[in-house]
Structure 1
Amino acid sequence: MADRGGSGAITRGDTLLFLTDDQLRRGIEAMFFAYRGFTADPDRILVEQGYGRAHHRAVHFINRTPGTTVNNLLSILGVTKQSLNRVLRTLVDDGLVEARVGTRDKRERHLYLTEAGKTLEQALSEAQRNRMRAAFRNAGPEAVQGFRAVLEEMMDPEMRRQYLDGVDQG
């Protein structure tokens, strides 16, 4: 594991990486602008349908784990129950998500995308896959591994575990 001090220096084995505050600030800005680009194409699709990014995130994770519970989705998204219920109500009313009562626990609601929901999710994820595919191809394999490692290191430990469990399953 990396040794990090307040100086911005990162040590791994016998290598030392020192980043100045300015370099870190530029990295933060790069993430902001990359995120803006990463979300631009899906945002255009979402706006046409009257949805926002919260709808996109819900559709993405319901597609990733069909049958996920509302409570699990709350945990993944880190939003309030009221906020998620508003998003899910719209998606259910519009015929994109189906909520089924749990077979073991009648209080649970298991979420599934309908065919229309799968079509929307496919359009949204295809736009992002295309952008990532081009970026990864242009950056090269070492950059791809480094990018993923940096993102994983930025995750809170519980989120990293959850993400890695999903990667192992997918």
Structure 2
Amino acid sequence: MVDGAMKGSLGGEGLLFLTDEQLRKGIEAMFFAYRGFTADPDRILSNYSYGRAHHRAVHFVNRAPGTTVNNLLAILGVTKQSLNRVLRTLIEDGLVESRVGTQDKRERHLFLTEKGEALERELSDAQRERMRAAYRAAGPEAVQGFRQVLEAMMDPELNRKFNTLKESSS
């Protein structure tokens, strides 16, 4: 029903045959939107001499308190060396706490401290504000379509990870 309704009411048939120029414009829009989406957090992070890797780590530790280092590695798709550098800084600065696993002493479980929660809130508030304004301007049908496009662009394994996170917050 949604496919037929969308095609009929929004001219969806034409979207199945996008020209290279239309696709290029979409790609460029993604680049510029990403710049806007990361601009506010980048300004905040610069006050701490942190980068986007720190932001991603703080975000996902907040989303899944107690997550393991290995799980965070899988979500972020970075090298262990790279993640260790980021985590070392966040731990030394008192934003993240690493606890030894209760069942497996080799595991390290990650939690945000109060200071880490405050930084995560500041970063997320800035991005939520931008997303909220964009969603309001675009309208509910566009929001749903945008989500569908983003999910369709994900590799299957990343889509599974995304859906696992989505389900854990429900």
Q: TM-score if structure 1 supplies the norm length?
A: 0.91
Give the letter for the 2:128 counterpart: R
Shift of 1:160: 0.5
SS at match of 1:112: strand
**Stretches of structure 2 lacking an aligned partner (at least 5 in a row):** 1-5
Deviations 1:109-131 (A, max 9, x none): 00000000000000000000000
SS at match of 1:79: coil
Whole-Å separation in 2 of the counterparts to 1:84 and 1:137: 36
Whole-Å separation in 1 of the counterparts to 2:80 and 2:164: 24
Report what 1:124 is aligned to.
123
Shift of 1:168: 1.7
Q: Which moved more, 1:14-23 or 1:41-50?
A: 14-23
Q: Does 1:29 align with 2:8?
A: no
Report what 1:108 is aligned to.
107
Percent identity among equivalent residues?
A: 74
* 1:45-84 alignment runs, 5 A limit: 45-84=44-83
RMSD: 1.4
**Stretches of structure 1 lacking an aligned partner (at least 5 in a row):** 1-11
Deviations 1:13-49 (A, max 9, x none): 9963210001001000000000000000000000011
Whole-Å separation in 2 of the counterparts to 1:64 and 1:92: 17
Shift of 1:165: 1.6
Deviations 1:85-136 (A, max 9, x none): 0000000000000000000000000000000000000000000000000000
Whole-Å separation in 1 of the counterparts to 2:7 and 2:32: 32
Give the letter for the 1:162 counterpart: K
Q: Which moved more, 1:60-69 or 1:156-165?
A: 156-165
Structure 1 residues 26 and 100, CA, compared in 2 at 3 Å: closer, same or farther? same
Give the letter for the 2:153 counterpart: M
Whole-Å separation in 1 of the counterparts to 2:110 and 2:61: 6
Q: Does 1:149 align with 2:148?
A: yes
Whole-Å separation in 2 of the counterparts to 1:45 and 1:73: 23
Q: Bigger relative contact order, structure 1 or 2, given CA contacts below 8 A and separation 6+?
A: 2
Q: TM-score if structure 2 supplies the norm length?
A: 0.91
Whole-Å separation in 1 of the counterparts to 2:24 and 2:7: 26
Whole-Å separation in 1 of the counterparts to 2:7 and 2:135: 27
Whole-Å separation in 2 of the counterparts to 1:166 and 1:52: 23
